[in-house]
Amino acid sequence: HVPYSCEQIFSVVSDVGSYHSFLPFCTASRVLGDPSKNEFDATLGIGYMGLAEEYTSRVRVVPPTLVEARAVETRLFVRLRTEWRFTPVNGRHGGKNGGKNGSKEGSDKVSDAEAGCKLSFLMEMQLKSSVHDAMFAQVVDKVASQQVHAFKKRCAELFPKQA
């Protein structure tokens, strides 16, 4: 659960071109297609555990509920797929201004950001090198946790709480 609307967290995760500025182990991020479309390609650079590589992913987005990426041009991975899913805590998607959360009158208004969003992250990965794959398997949970934390921190920077 994150204290941001699905639209807010979606906007951060789908902004692939900015990854290099805040994501651990990301050394480059360039969008190759039109990011306003529901599918585009992006080149990402990674550096971790002595590995340095750039690869191209096909990114598919379904605003504001899904961001999925699959490596399509890579020398490093047999398979790499990430999936981010966003589900509103109050059961609906809404804008920044919020709205009713099922109340009969407007007295119990809760903004979507106040209600929050359930965040789900899945990463499937297999490296071509069995040695690197075995090494990475030992730290994959830590890396995934660091990635999720970086996105949450980015949201906090872009969407500070209104006092």
Euclidean distance between CA atoms 81 and 69, whole angstroms: 6
pLDDT in tens, 55-99: 999 999 999 999 999 999 999 899 999 999 999 997 655 444 333
Q: What is the mean pLDDT of residues 119-129?
A: 92
| Extended strands (E) in 49-104 | 51-62, 66-73, 77-88
User: Listing from the earlier edge strand, what are the strands of the sheet with 66-73?
Assistant: 26-31, 39-48, 51-62, 66-73, 77-88, 117-127
Euclidean distance between CA atoms 69 and 92, whole angstroms: 25
Average pLDDT of every residue of the chain: 85
pTM over 0.85: no
Closest by Cα among 37, 120, 44, 41 to 84: 120
Q: What is the mean pLDDT of residues 110-122?
A: 77
pLDDT in tens, 126-142: 989 898 888 888 888 89
